[in-house]
Structure 1
Amino acid sequence: MLGFCRAGTALALILLNALVLIAAADEELIFSDHFLVQLHEGTTEDAHQLALEHGFGSARKLPFGEGLFHFYPREIPKTRRKRSLQQHRRLAKDHRVKSVFPQEGFGRQKRGYREISNIDVNMSDPLFTKQWYLINTGQADGTPGLDLNVAEAWNMGFTGKGVTIAIMDDGIDYLHPDLAFNYNAEASFDFSSNDPYPYPRYTDDWFNSHGTRCAGEVSAVSNNNICGVGVAYNSKVAGIRMLDQPFMTDIIEASSISHMPQVIDIYSASWGPTDDGKTVDGPRELTLQAMADGVNKGRGGKGSIYVWASGDGGSYDDCNCDGYASSMWTISINSAINDGRTALYDESCSSTLASTFSNGRKRNPEAGVATTDLYGNCTLRHSGTSAAAPEAAGVFALALEANPNLTWRDLQHLTVLTSKRNKLHDEVHQWRRNGVGLEFNHLFGYGVLDAGGMVKLAREWKTVPERFHCVAGSVQEIHKIQSGSKLVLSVTTDVCQGKDNFVRYLEHVQAVITVNASRRGDLNINMTSPMGTKSILLSRRPRDDDAKVGFDKWPFMTTHTWGEDPRGAWLLEVGFQGEAPQSGVLKEWTLMLHGTQSAPYIDQVVRDYQSKLAMSKKEELEEELDEAVERSLKSLLSKSN
């Protein structure tokens, strides 16, 4: 492990437990011509010269760590199955080089690249009236009122001005007339070609339209009679091209996530490990370090905002097996369709924080997401959780304009408190309340984002208290698991009471688990908090036949216990689902609790409660979610007194 963090810090503890290096044992490794090189000393020019001497195209200084450079090839590399040992050895022997780390190649998949219909779009007509996810009046067989409530935020004067959102994808058509005015060239870069021009590579099937479509959802210019309108139509959009290559490397991901963190406010990612229902994968070490640096140092110390699409694997997959979507440092966004149901491709998991919208389930040609497309075109065909994540990034841009002092954690708290059930529903996963009254759903998180509600609360928001991390307990003994019965384990904790890292009000909870099974896909893991909230940490994945790797210190995460008192007994239930009998062994369960020592929102809840009490004398309080939020805040207030 590279020594980028100081031993003993909370960050080092998180990185140690969150480190994800899992790959299927029977998969062949792919090796690239990219190298992470650490020099004893030297400037970027010295590194460039050294790279040329050893046959590379050039070198680029990395913003994380000291003396670190990315040595990249002259051309787009081809896939290889063997390491370039000779090149590695030559570099390692050079007296100017301290260490060399060849970069493994791995797959990353765009989410939601699918066609809804083959309808021809009339390019001369604005698409705003077809953007039902902005203002839903029942277009395309949708449910009126089921939208992001952006109109309320816009009417309050918030349009994303002064906020920059980076689209980490396959490039952006920054010459598009609906994007050019809002394009931030300074904050853009092409990490696939190592130049400042992240223009998409042409293909006959327009496969590289993904990033351009996402960009239009966020920052398409308003009132110019071209395509539609972005959620934050006065925000700036940056293009980070990093997906269009034969494979991904840790350096490229880390470089993208850490690109210009003092200029870029929000990073939107609509990609991740393959959504095939059998992959368990996530960020490698450099990317984890870059994320940690982002939330700790980005935006002048307030923290970079990472928005992640939760995945398109449907009921065959579980987004807690995706180390990006299930990270505490990202805001994981699922999607709903225009009548309030879940999309057939939506994954469910306990780490999802909220939802936005994708397309309609019916074959209505106008039920997709209307946005910009390559070469100055418009489209009605964007869909998937790919479409959901940029919409969330746009809503967060409105909140950041309303209050530029919001931290990365403030935005997560605002998401929990202002997202609403609205008319979202699913036949399998019902809405439930946690121990402090917050309503959540295993598919939709805390509900659909409400731009108007978030902006109103953000304007007078006070930064939440300092965050602490407590290793609440650990079970290290080997326990057998058999079909037909459940393994039930318990950890009773005082959450580090009496220590500096005491946790009293929960934010994120991680269950770091090592388990092997005769068929990994049949495993089912649930965890119940002391206040009785049950989180489904892992659902059955019928396509996952793994019998070798299992889960090795995998950090399953839940947001469903947000605001709860973590003191007491936590229960873990592990069993099998499926027809064939299976067996397994659980080797470790470590419970990690993250939260605050004092109750957030104390001043806010007093104002809100008094205001709502006064309003109740004139009219009834708002509907279901408002009542749920009020109950949760009153509960937090009473527990703090």
Structure 2
Amino acid sequence: MEYCISLFIFFLTFLNFNSDHSNEVRATSEVFTNSFLVKLKQSVDKTLADEVAKRNGFINLGSILGNQKEYQFLQKALPHARSKRSVPHTRRLKIDPLIHTAVQQTGFRRVKRGNRLLNTENLLTLNNKFMKVQVGPEPSDPYFQYQWYLKNTGQNGGKPRLDLNVEAAWAQGITGKNVTTAIMDDGVDYMHPDLKFNYNARASYDFSSNDPYPYPRYTDDWFNSHGTRCAGEVAAARDNGVCGVGVAYDSKIAGIRMLDQPYMTDLIEANSMGHEPDLIDIYSASWGPTDDGKTVDGPRNATMRAIVRGVNEGRRGLGNIYVWASGDGGEEDDCNCDGYAASMWTVSINSAINDGQNAHYDESCSSTLASTFSNGAKDPNTGVATTDLYGKCTTTHSGTSAAAPEAAGVFALALEANPQLTWRDIQHLTVLSSKRNSLFDAKGRFHWTMNGVGLEFNHLFGYGVLDAGGIVALAKKWETVPPRYHCEAGSIGVTQEIPSDRSILLKIKTDACSGTEYSVNYLEHVQAVITVNASRRGDLELFLTSPMGTRSMILSRRIHDDDNRDGFTKWPFMTTHTWAEYPQGTWLLEISFNSQKPQHGWFKEWTLMLHGTREPPYEKLSTTDPHSKLAIVKKAHEEHSSLTN
């Protein structure tokens, strides 16, 4: 049932990616790659698919998501990117008696987040001899002293104890055993002495070169060190005299090389996110559409199918966890315009620096669930200490690129503590165990706010900084949350002009599908699927207010976005700020311009999608701490239940 519901939501909210491509691609000239999606008239095995490809002059790169009717064919006679479709090659495929359709794949840009070029002053050359050091109360690795995000003692101007609290998880005997995290990136140096014993070769693959060896391509500036740095944050070995230690140092990492190419395609993304879903538990992505403050882009058809399949079928039905860096566009961008980070299927992670304030490159949005860490406060070059290419180490890894793998490591600890956790359990645990701690907005724009059931959130940091000790302790006693349902709570499709000098207010009153099989009584994600355009898209601001009074900014002003044509077409703006609230009542959508110059626009459509549970999600859980988030929400739910009954 949940799988069917998921596919329905996918087709509803992401249909525009199929028909319209993305706003980014349409705004520039299209690029066509030498890759083709070939749909056959019947299911065939690899041998026959190879024959079909060969007789038409192509190479078969394999099936798409295990579907034996869909294959990726490569045409080596074409360049990787060109400005026109190859009509002759497409026609040749289409006339084959076994081929139903053939579509040449468009190329688009995907960028690494927080990537820094080589800084030789922050590298340590290591002896490749693997030195086992006796385990002490804390790791003996030489770079552990610089890993303030694991243990903040005030080094580099940090605030003591503002860290991921990993030692509390390790003290419970949880170190990530039997959990694999895939680093979807530019490759992983799997021969690094701090990674090689935690490398899962069976779960790894190179989708850029189409072979099982995702080793980074050499460049003089070490541009392809990004994935190796991310991998070390998750699973660098402990007490071996090399670099530092990973958050989940006994877990495994897989390398999925897919980012190192001029243009990305839908099929490469889909195959990467759907690779070995029963061997891989967590997929970590520190990249996305261009963080330029004007791009609106997200997953295409096959990629969305891969993610939906992963959360419904991966990990033998428990669901894969997709961790996403929220973006490095700073206050001039909004991560709700990134369809990967803003997806309800992913866990969007922002970053803080070591004194608690947000980093200057942090984007804000209502879809961010939690935060981890990136830079030091006094010295911006003091970033995350981790592994680097060719057996070296660095202390300059930074950006939300660094934040996402830290979160993946924390989730690996939670999965060892309780291997039966579903992908939704991980999100619930994140909300309930993350801490406000000392996190604050350096410019005072976004304050900590309490939602309708007493959960504190921040537009920058989500529900706070991940607490490894807290999430592990809660995971050990966790009871799987009730089944998820979705409700199309209502829609408004009457075109209205958006004036320059005032807001327009739209209301949907809903019973949240009460009395039907789709009834939602306790919220998880809320999507406002909106079609709107404007004379200047970047000056639009959107706010969504729940029946319990929680006001979410679902789109902020973006000063670099000059679009006056595309607007947003069925774009699923998502908020997590109403988590665990009751959805029945009136929802308010506020649309306005934030501009010095007069602007005008047209609202065309708003559909409200509610996702959550019918039954109370935490009814079976108990807590002895009356001040914990769990106790606060349980009390609110019990009071609500007694009033409604």
1:250 aligned onto 2:263: no
Residues 422-571 of structure 1 aligned to structure 2 (within 5 Å): 422-426=437-441, 427-571=444-588
Cα 1:636–1:383 change in 2 (3 A) is: same
Alpha-carbon offset, residue 116 of structure 1: 9.5
Q: 1:127 to 1:209 in 2, by over 3 A?
A: same
Q: Distance in 2 between matches of 1:219 and 1:584?
A: 49
1:142 paired residue number = 158
Displacement of 1:12 in angstroms is 1.8
Q: Which residue of 1 is the match for residue 391 of structure 2?
A: 376
1:97-119 C-alpha deviation (Å, 9 max, x unpaired)? 12212211111011111359663
Tell me, in whole angstroms, the C-alpha distance in 2 between the residues paired with 1:557 and 1:181. Answer: 40
Distance in 1, Cα, partners of 2:375 & 2:186: 21
Deviation by residue 1:254-280 (Cα, 9 ceiling, x = unmatched)? 000000001100000000000000000
CA distance in 2: counterparts of 1:16 and 1:612, whole angstroms: 42
Closer, same or farther: CA 360–519 of 1 in aligned 2, 3 Å: same
- Match status 1:15 vs 2:17: no
Change (3 A) 1:212 1:76: farther
Assess if the C-alpha contact under 8 Å between 1:115 and 1:382 holds in 2: no
Contact 1:266–1:305 under 8 Å retained in 2: yes
Partner in structure 2 of residue 617 of structure 1? none
Distance 1:59 1:169 in 2: 20
TM-score, normalising length: structure 1: 0.94
Distance 1:574 1:121 in 2: 50
Deviation, 1:77, is 4.0
Q: Aligned partners of 1:86, 1:76: CA distance in 2, in Å?
A: 11
Q: CA deviation at 1:11?
A: 2.3
Q: Distance in 2 between matches of 1:209 and 1:461?
A: 37
Structure-2 residue corresponding to 1:233: 249
Native 8 Å contact 1:479 1:586 kept in 2: yes
Q: Structure 1 residues 96-105 or 304-313, which shifts more?
A: 96-105
1:26 paired residue number: 27
Question: Cα deviations across residues 48-93 of structure 1 (Å, max 9, x unaligned)?
Answer: 2222332323331222544111112449943200001100000010
Task: Identify if the C-alpha distance between structure 1 residues 464 and 353 changes in structure 2 by more than 3 Å, giving closer, same or farther.
Answer: same
The structure 1 residue matched to 2:115, chosen from 91, 96, 113, is 113
Distance 1:444 1:335 in 2: 7
CA distance in structure 2 between the aligned counterparts of 1:122 and 1:251, rounded to whole angstroms:
38
The one-letter code of the counterpart of 1:603 is K
* Superimposed CA distance per residue, residues 577-630 of structure 1 (whole angstroms, 9 cap, x where no aligned partner): 0211100000001100000001011121xx21xx236xxxxxxxxxxxx55543
Corresponding residue to 1:388 among 386, 400, 403 = 403
Report SS of the residue matched to 2:284: strand
**Identity, % of aligned pairs?**
61
The secondary structure found in structure 1 opposite 2:632 is helix
Partner of 2:424: 409
1:416-465 alpha-carbon deviations (Å, 9 max, x no partner):
00001000001211000000000000000000000000000000100000
Asked if 1 retains the 8 angstrom alpha-carbon contact of 2:118 and 2:222, the reply is no
Distance (whole Å) between structure 1 residues aligned to residue 391 and residue 406 of structure 2: 21
- CA-based RMSD: 1.7
Q: Which amino acid aligns with 1:52?
A: K
- 1:576-591 matches, cutoff 5 A: 576-591=593-608
Distance (whole Å) between structure 2 residues aligned to residue 260 and residue 375 of structure 1: 27
Select 2:373's aligned residue among 357, 375, 388.
357
**In 2 relative to 1, CA 560–76 (structure 1 residues): closer, same or farther, beyond 3 Å?**
farther
Match of 2:237 among 204, 208, 221: 221
- State the aligned residue count: 620
The structural deviation recorded for 1:38 is 1.7
Alignment partners' CA distance in 1, 2:383 and 2:236: 17
CA contact (8 A) 1:114 1:384 kept: no
The one-letter code of the counterpart of 1:58 is: N
d(CA) in 1 for partners of 2:571, 2:437:
34
Match of 1:158 in 2: 174
AA of the residue aligned to 1:29: E
Amino acid at match of 2:171: N
Q: Which residue of 2 aligns with 1:612?
A: 625
CA spacing shift, 1:364–1:579, aligned 2, 3 Å: closer
Indicate the residue corresponding to 1:313 in structure 2.
Answer: 329
Deviation at 1:204, TM superposition (A): 0.5
Q: Give the distance between the partners of 1:452 and 1:257, measured in 2 at CA.
A: 29
Alpha-carbon offset, residue 211 of structure 1: 0.3
| 1:618 corresponds to | none
CA change 1:71–1:398 in 2 (3 A) is same
Comparing 13-22 with 570-579, greater Cα deviation is found at 13-22
Contact 1:519 1:544 survives alignment (8 Å)? yes
Q: CA contact under 8 A between 2:529 and 2:573: conserved in structure 1?
A: yes
Q: What TM-score results when the alignment is normalised by the length of structure 2?
A: 0.94
Aligned counterparts of 1:531 and 1:558: Cα–Cα separation in 2: 14
Task: Work out the CA distance in 1 between the residues paired with 2:448 and 2:611.
Answer: 24
8 Å contact from structure 1 (residues 44, 59) kept in 2? no
Residue type of the partner of 1:347? E
Give 1:616's aligned residue. Answer: none
SS of equivalent residue, structure 1 residue 489: strand
SS where residue 218 of structure 1 aligns? helix
Q: What is residue 78 of structure 1 aligned with on the other side?
A: 80
Paired position in structure 1 for 2:288: 272
Structure 1 segments unaligned to the other structure (5+ residues) = 614-625
- How many angstroms apart in 1 are the aligned matches of 2:274 and 2:284? 13
Is the 8 Å Cα contact of residues 34 and 76 (structure 2) preserved in structure 1? no
Q: Tell me if 1:344 matches 2:360.
A: yes
Work out the CA distance in 2 between the residues paired with 1:55 and 1:248. 23
Task: Kindly provide the amino acid, as one letter, of the partner of residue 12 in structure 1.
Answer: F
Question: Matched residue of 1:388: which SS?
Answer: helix
1:187 pairs with 2:203? yes
8 Å contact kept, 2:457–2:464: yes
Q: 1:173 to 1:74 in 2, by over 3 A?
A: farther
Instruction: Report SS of the residue matched to 1:612.
Output: coil
In 2, distance between residues paired with 1:600 and 1:75?
Answer: 56
* 1:116–1:383 contact (8 Å) kept in structure 2: no
SS of alignment partner, residue 521 of structure 1? helix
- Alpha-carbon distance in structure 2 between the residues aligned to 1:539 and 1:277: 11
Letter matched to residue 368 of structure 1: G
**SS of residue in 1 equivalent to 2:424:** helix
